[in-house]
Structure 1
Amino acid sequence: MQTLIVLFNLKDGVDAAAYERWAHETDLPVASALASVDSFEVLRTLAVMGSDQAPPYQYIERLRINDMALLGQEAGGAAMQKVAAEFRAFADNPLFIITESI
């Protein structure tokens, strides 16, 4: 099984409360319903442990993917295309990283 990690900050001027409301009402339910997704969570970063520095990213998404090829097919559907467009309006240059357990 693979895990998709998405690291991102909000675009300048985006209200964090508006993004988080959208994440709870739209992104989480739609993406979690995909057959290729076993679990999905959105995390708000708080701190860098042992440091006064701000975290380099405001948010992290973690999606456990049971079938990456199926995810690609499902991502092309109308519902996910709409969610992806809305996500792009919030997120500033998100970084998508595919991982696997070792």
Structure 2
Amino acid sequence: MNPNYIRHEETTVSENIVFFLTRLSSKEEQEAYESWVRETDVPTARGLPGVNNYRVVRLEGPVMDGVSSPPYDYIEIIEISDLETYQNGLSGVDPEFLAQFTGFIGEFESVHGCVVE
């Protein structure tokens, strides 16, 4: 078994994960952005070298009372085989794709980490 994976009952999960925390440039862009995510972003991201899984999650609000809403609208969760392969794959992304992404997004942060169990 690949050492970059951990086994959870019947699913295999990558230990290396990249997160993009994004805020739309305008709330009016939500419907168009989510269509773009489904039609363009997901297939492109899942096709990058080193990507094992890719999901975009819309943030809808806090879970507990007294906790403020997050400063972001979406979290992109990218399970990768290793960071270097993923970063090299990003360098080959079509500039038009990046222009579409930045056209929807007001600001974003990206971080990587690994699962702690």
Which TM-score band (shorter chain)?
0.7 to 0.9
> 2:12 — aligned with what?
none
Question: Identity percentage over the alignment?
Answer: 27
Structure scoring higher RCO (CA < 8 A, sep ≥ 6) equals 1
**Distance in structure 2 (CA, Å) of the matches to 1:78 and 1:48:** 34
- Which of 71, 75, 92 is the aligned partner of 1:77? 92
SS of aligned partner of 2:40 = helix
**Counterpart in 2 of 1:63?**
78
Stretches of structure 2 that go unaligned for 5 or more consecutive residues are 1-14
Q: Aligned to 2:22, what secondary structure does the other structure show? A: strand
Distance in 1 of aligned mates of 2:51 and 2:36: 19
Q: CA RMSD in A?
A: 1.7
Counterpart secondary structure, 1:15: helix
Q: In 1, Cα distance between the equivalents of 2:28 and 2:92?
A: 26
State whether structure 2 residue 59 is matched by structure 1 residue 45.
yes
Does 1:96 pair with 2:103?
no
- Normalized per residue, the structure richer in helix is 1
Q: Secondary structure at the match of 1:89?
A: helix
Tell me the secondary structure at the aligned position of residue 85 of structure 2: helix
CA–CA separation in structure 2 for the residues paired with 1:17 and 1:76: 28
User: Which TM-score applies when normalising by structure 1?
Assistant: 0.87
User: Counterpart of 1:9?
Assistant: 23
So what's the TM-score if we normalise by structure 2? 0.77
Pick the aligned partner of 2:100 from 86, 89, 93: 86
* C-alpha displacement of 1:31: 0.6
